[in-house]
Structure 1
Amino acid sequence: MSTTQDGRPQVSADDAQLKALGYEQKFERQMGLWANFALGFLYLSPLVGVIALFAQGLTTAGPPAVFWIFIVAAGQFLVALVFGEVVAQYPLAGGLYQWARRLWSGRYAWLLSWIYICGVIIGITTTALFSADFVASLLFGTADDPGAQSSPGSRLVIAVIVTAIGLVLNATGTRTLARISKIGLAAELVGVIAVGLYLLVFQRHQPFSVFFDTMGTGGHGEGYFGPFLAASLVGLLLFYGFEACGEVAEEVPDPARRIPRAMQLTVLVGGGSALLSYAGYVLAAPDLPAIVSGDVGNPIPAILQNSLGSVGTKAFLVVALTSFLACVMGQQAAASRLVFSFARDDMFPGSHVFSRISAKRHVPVNALIAVNIPPLALFLFVYFAPDSLFRIAAFQMLAGYVAFQMVVLAALRMRLKGWRPAGAWSMGKAGLPVTVAALLYGILAMILLAQPTGDSDLPFYDRWIALIGFLIVAGAGLAYLLTVRPGDRSDAQEGDAIEVARRLRDQRP
């Protein structure tokens, strides 16, 4: 911190706003607009999402599954606009937790955050596990078999290594996170846009009309609507992560202006990149019916081998693994800042431990370690039940969408009580209809995510694992909230959005 001529500390406008909201500056503001955008983009990670969901989407609904990228991008952009107004008024570490607390109450925010933390922890798990097949293809893939798949044992080992590397790098500080985010962004853009364009222009084997060909995925007389709805995961599991831009608000200079733009860029650029990538792989597939029928289990390395050759495929896999690692790091950072913010308000078990910031690195190391312990148990679970990975991912997204919509609902409730957002970025009169539309979209998305997954011959608990898992997590959080009553120990501000907005307007010249 700089000093004035008389030797007193000089407080920046960002630090002064933070203090006015009840907190002291402890992080270092070393993450600019592009690093913040990169963090959200890599958390959303179109490359990782498309790679993980490509085969699933095609086997479920054929090439028309790509249209879910348009649908979900539009809905999530509405949510990003709502979040932008809130973070502009409350640029605080912990994002969703702080927004819900100031828009409603501490207890409401506690339940939201509990659900969201569980979702992000599973996000760390699934991203690390999805990376395993690409490590296997990089190390063991050949020209004849480029899409080598990992065994349950190797998947377990690779996931642990990826998570551990992300933890170590995150613990070194915000500057490292910003640098890795920028490197990952460059790798992601090369892997998504450059490769996607190359496939579209030079390696197209399918006509554009293929996107209107269901290729028999509608079943025998059962209709196509059901399979198309089931393929919604192609979009719903992809557009997730733009809120991470707000989780690190206290590490960004001028966050009230930069973070809303970063979140919007994340959805727009991420959506365009995902569309280009997904469409490129579909059009470049030499034997698309074999992928749709499920005969090709790991199709993207095979497509790349046919299009780029062995050297090009290996280079792409290195780029992909860079994106996987950066995505894990983004999830770890978002979860740890949320736990820190939770603990700082004395709302989290072991608050005195998890609210500590490293004096040297200026990151919440204890919180970082804590959010990486549950994934180890989940890695073991998937080792013994390998087919559970996609169904666990469905729970992750349901938890995330519920948390998102709890913020949107709180924003709508506060608007109806008279709140007019007064941050540096606002939608003005469009705010109310956009918030309503975002909530309606979110309700539809949650219904789709809660639907049963997998074959109808699977056991009941297996098909409904997303909803059952969510109800267990939410029930446990609610029980803790009602019995331990963590909000009673906290004196942090809550439900003050109207008052803060009025004060901000009064302070303006």
Structure 2
Amino acid sequence: MVDRVPTRGAAAGDRHSASDAAQLESLGYRSDFRRDMSLWANFSLGFTYLSPVVGIYTLFGFALATAGPAMVWSLLIVGVGQLLVALVFGEVVSQYPLAGGVYPWARRLWGRRWAWLTGWVYMIALLVTIASVAYGSGPYVSMLFGLEPSTGTTIACALLVLLVATAINLGGTRALGIAAIIGFSTEILGALAVGGWLLLTERHHGLGVLLDGAGTGSGGSYLGAFLAAGLIGIFQYYGFEACGDVAEEVPNPGKRIPKAMRMTIYVGGFAATFVCLSLVLAVPDFGAVISGADTDPVSTVLSTAFGPLGSKVVLLVVLVSFLSCALSLQAAASRLIYSYARDRMLPASRLFSRFSARLHVPPYALVVATVVPALVVLASRISEDATERIVSFAVLGIYLGFQMVVLAALRARLKGWTPAGQFTLGRWGLPVNALALVYGVAAIVNMAWPRSPDAPWYDNYLTLLSGCLVVGAGLIVMITARPYGRSQAPAGDAVPERTK
């Protein structure tokens, strides 16, 4: 990996500002965003989107019940796989530091049609993920304030989280960066404090249990159970791409964003693994979790270890994590919608590409990133199953969007593209790109694999069906309405002209 080190000092900062504008203009754009986001703020944005606390606390009980304490190894396996993807993204964003992330990357690597479909899949996935994170915060709000848990309470709490996140995002890049740093600091300190305390005071097992499946699996095989529990890792390791979604708000993005992406994987992965490890060793009875007698081992462990008052503090940290995660997701979604509309690739593009000179954000794109998730949350009032069916696409859609870019990068590389940003993998680029694609396809298959033979077929294939529905709808819109045909922005220029 090669990071070319820029000159330091005030003069260097001026040169970076001029070179950033010049690079953006050479790519066909002039940006209205303010480059107020530091390296640490950019990293914090990716970290809070990845959110180890949200990811682990949400799926810990499921993973432990499915594969026992050995499920913790899935975090390391998925972490390595997603690092490969982050390295590919780092090369692309270094050469094409454009707002919106996967959409403009796919556009420059392949072309308008591929970019439109990539953006569609990723946009739907982001909007649904915002809803799932906001909805997931509801039970913790109820526990913190002693509210009676109900669908209505959860909906109200979710809508409140969305409104607070929107208010912060309307503060502009600087407010977003400050909020991301506060969220990162709170979450990492909380994760280390909670994990450390559990290891010191509530450790019931030795490290040997990490090689124990605790009797899970079927037919004498543990692999199926481990792959199913691996969803905790798959759900955990995304968010690093948000560092690139705000590329036009970061000084010297060609160097800083690839670094922030790698930092997100390293620090986020460590924090997630540490939290998961401490929880595993603190669970007193694996059998109770596996049998279903203890359906919420996280709450059981925290209430035992910290008591009523300490649990409230931990819950407050968890809520900050949920809010920070929703905030980062909203920022990523609004930049994607703005980038899409700026290239005239959406209906009402003129509206969604509007930029507020006072707020320094695209306000109407941000409204979409608030209203659509709110509607998904409100759908649970009609039917919780309806919300589950909508949300089931969330993680699969993120991974599909990722792999559409990874595939586009591999295709462009094989057709002659040589990454030309400040960050490159050199001769390792092709094998890393190929391995990232293999990993990503395997993760998608694992997510979509049917694992409930006793359930109705449509429930057993719910994730796959939701993915096919979103992709199919996107293809129908693309073929019939031809939204890409209105765009004259550059596309497919990563591949040298002579090889096209």
Report Cα offsets for 1:273-320 as digits up to 9, x if no partner: 111000101111233322232222322222112112222211111111
Instruction: Quote the residue 2:216 is aligned against.
Output: 217
Task: Work out which of the residue numbers 285, 292, 301 in structure 1 matches 2:283.
Answer: 285
Instruction: Quote the residue 1:348 is aligned against.
Output: 346
Residues 1:157 and 2:156 aligned together:
yes
Residues 1:461 and 2:467 aligned together:
no
**Matched residues in 2 for 1:426 and 1:359: separation?**
35
Native 8 Å contact 2:48 2:321 kept in 1: yes
Q: Secondary structure at the match of 2:351?
A: helix
Which is worse superposed, 322-331 or 201-210? 201-210
Native 8 Å contact 1:394 1:449 kept in 2: no
Native 8 Å contact 2:379 2:387 kept in 1: no
Instruction: Quote the residue 2:474 is aligned against.
Output: 477
Task: Work out which of the residue numbers 98, 115, 124 in structure 2 matches 1:118.
Answer: 124
Which is worse superposed, 18-27 or 296-305? 296-305
Instruction: Quote the residue 2:10 is aligned against.
Output: none
Instruction: Quote the residue 1:60 is aligned against.
Output: 66
Native 8 Å contact 1:167 1:368 kept in 2: yes
Instruction: Quote the residue 1:107 is aligned against.
Output: 113
Instruction: Quote the residue 2:12 is aligned against.
Output: none
Q: Secondary structure at the match of 1:317?
A: helix
Instruction: Quote the residue 2:233 is aligned against.
Output: 235
**Matched residues in 2 for 1:185 and 1:390: separation?**
29
**Matched residues in 1 for 2:224 and 2:428: separation?**
34
Q: Secondary structure at the match of 1:468?
A: helix
Alignment of 1:404-483 (within 5 A): 404-453=402-451, 455-483=452-480
Instruction: Quote the residue 1:298 is aligned against.
Output: 296
Native 8 Å contact 2:17 2:252 kept in 1: no
Instruction: Quote the residue 1:175 is aligned against.
Output: 174
Displacement after TM superposition at 1:216 (Å) = 2.6
Task: Work out which of the residue numbers 20, 27, 31 in structure 2 matches 1:21.
Answer: 27
Quick one: which amino acid aligns to residue 123 of structure 2?
I
* Pair 1:72–1:391, CA change in 2 (3 A): farther
Quick one: which amino acid aligns to residue 168 of structure 1?
A
TM-score (norm 1): 0.91
**Matched residues in 1 for 2:236 and 2:376: separation?**
21
Native 8 Å contact 1:205 1:286 kept in 2: yes
Displacement after TM superposition at 1:224 (Å) = 2.1
Instruction: Quote the residue 1:208 is aligned against.
Output: 207
Alignment of 1:302-321 (within 5 A): 302-321=300-319
Native 8 Å contact 1:116 1:403 kept in 2: yes
Native 8 Å contact 1:196 1:281 kept in 2: yes
Instruction: Quote the residue 1:331 is aligned against.
Output: 329
**Matched residues in 2 for 1:304 and 1:107: separation?**
49
State percent identity of aligned pairs: 48
Native 8 Å contact 2:214 2:287 kept in 1: yes
Gaps of 5+ in 1: 1-9, 142-148, 501-509
TM-score (norm 2): 0.93
Instruction: Quote the residue 2:50 is aligned against.
Output: 44
Quick one: which amino acid aligns to residue 107 of structure 2?
R
Native 8 Å contact 2:17 2:251 kept in 1: no
Report Cα offsets for 1:143-201 as digits up to 9, x if no partner: xxxxxx83222111111111111112111211111111000001110121222122123
Displacement after TM superposition at 1:389 (Å) = 6.3
**Matched residues in 1 for 2:186 and 2:281: separation?**
22
**Matched residues in 1 for 2:73 and 2:392: separation?**
19
Residues 1:131 and 2:121 aligned together:
no
Native 8 Å contact 1:187 1:320 kept in 2: no
Gaps of 5+ in 2: 1-15
**Matched residues in 2 for 1:310 and 1:232: separation?**
32
Residues 1:82 and 2:81 aligned together:
no
Alpha-carbon RMSD across the aligned residues, in angstroms, is: 1.8
Native 8 Å contact 1:414 1:497 kept in 2: yes
